[in-house]
Structure 1
């Protein structure tokens, strides 16, 4: 039995997230449809993360087990011939049988993209959050640094979430600007449902003067969702990469 690791890139606009759902089109379902066409079987596919509806991925990892002997490079070509244009398979390779796309991950990195200009850019529609008022990106970056380290991120958990372990470790958290584009990059050992989008909403509060960067520790310590900013829209969010052990 082979265990195959696929890396995908997808525009999540047309999909209701990664995971299969009864009445909505998802990335996982679409990939499984393509695999069934090629392999004449429908293997369960394990994803590295449950992305929300409308969230994109620059590098999404998933794995599945199969006894089919198709060479990895041929499977990449075949899948890309079957998949719609908003999903692409970047690579495929065999990994140890114990590898699990989600549980073997050491860290995940997300990128949130903002178009910060008075006039919207139609070419960024659905791919960046448009914020027309000027943003203090320096204040956002200062605030983002307070996310670094091991914290209880209950304040950044979606309301109604049933998750009880809300402690996560963040190893990278920074904001940078390139002309009209503002990027928030965050990497950690795990993320709560909507956590990155709530981080972004909170950083936008600091950019708009509704919070000061030095207020972020108090927001974290409060363990209160109401203390943080709003949940930013999904369409600016990208799963940027997944980090695994080099020996994988």
Structure 2
């Protein structure tokens, strides 16, 4: 069996997230597995670096799968791109060591969130940016972000109330980039909880709107209570931007 790694970009607008589910066939993992199984004539399991939620996009999702097939990597990639929907594209494919696992071996991930602060979204960008349509105090957001970075228990920023595993994560950095009326925010960490980025973003937006003070972040972390954090921003502005590995 050969272990292949793929880099995938997708528009998550019409999908129910990355992970294959029994109640829907509209998932990214499911679409890729269906094409691979048609090619190989056997069941194939595709492992993603993480589970993006419904409506969330990816610029560089990493996944891997094992197949036993007499075809070159380039042929497999061309077959995937020929039969996958137009809103899913395999950008690269290469052979990796047998023990490589896209999720278990990931060292850090970066998510990008895009916000439109102006009065109306650009027409051809409207499905890929959050229309907040309000000005934000970015300096205050940066002060709040500094208190959130580091290794903390992020239970207050997780939508899964029944989470039994550890909710401790290392949020390495939060970066802000303003471009005209748009604000781009990048979150880099060793892993993220369910809805964590979207809740962090909603909380920081509330700081930027002066509805919260930056100093409140420490108390929210200590509370370990989802009700203490801000709202969950919509998915259309969120992109999985990159996944880094030590190979």
What secondary structure sits across from 1:171 in the alignment?
Answer: strand
Matched, 1:23 2:6: no
CA contact (8 A) 1:43 1:65 kept: yes
> What is the rounded CA distance, in whole Å, between the counterparts of 1:102 and 1:163 in structure 2?
19
Moved more, 177-186 or 30-39: 30-39
What secondary structure sits across from 1:211 in the alignment?
Answer: coil
CA contact (8 A) 1:46 1:62 kept: yes
The number of aligned residues is: 246
Residue in structure 1 matched with residue 244 of structure 2 by the alignment: 243
Matched, 1:161 2:162: yes
Moved more, 136-145 or 52-61: 136-145
Residue in structure 2 matched with residue 34 of structure 1 by the alignment: 35
What secondary structure sits across from 2:151 in the alignment?
Answer: strand
What secondary structure sits across from 1:158 in the alignment?
Answer: coil
> What is the rounded CA distance, in whole Å, between the counterparts of 1:238 and 1:141 in structure 2?
20
Residue in structure 2 matched with residue 50 of structure 1 by the alignment: 51
Tell me the CA shift for residue 172 of structure 1. 1.6
Matched, 1:2 2:5: no
The aligned runs of 1:77-226 (5 Å cut-off) are 77-226=78-227
Residue in structure 2 matched with residue 64 of structure 1 by the alignment: 65
> What is the rounded CA distance, in whole Å, between the counterparts of 1:21 and 1:154 in structure 2?
25
Moved more, 144-153 or 87-96: 144-153
What secondary structure sits across from 1:106 in the alignment?
Answer: strand
> What is the rounded CA distance, in whole Å, between the counterparts of 1:208 and 1:53 in structure 2?
27
What secondary structure sits across from 1:90 in the alignment?
Answer: strand
> What is the rounded CA distance, in whole Å, between the counterparts of 1:152 and 1:199 in structure 2?
13
Q: Deviations over 1:35-56 (max 9, x none)?
A: 1222222311111101100000
What secondary structure sits across from 2:127 in the alignment?
Answer: coil
Q: Deviations over 1:15-60 (max 9, x none)?
A: 1001111232100111111112222223111111011000000000
Q: Which runs of 4+ in 1 moved over 6 A?
A: none
CA contact (8 A) 2:113 2:238 kept: yes
Per the normalisation by structure 1, the TM-score is 0.95
What secondary structure sits across from 1:190 in the alignment?
Answer: coil
- CA change 1:110–1:167 in 2 (3 A) is same
CA contact (8 A) 2:111 2:242 kept: yes
> What is the rounded CA distance, in whole Å, between the counterparts of 1:92 and 1:163 in structure 2?
35
CA contact (8 A) 2:171 2:187 kept: yes
Note the residue ranges of structure 2 that are not aligned, 5 or more in a row: none
Moved more, 41-50 or 6-15: 41-50
Tell me the CA shift for residue 159 of structure 1. 4.7
Q: Deviations over 1:162-214 (max 9, x none)?
A: 23311100112122211111111011111110000000000010011111112
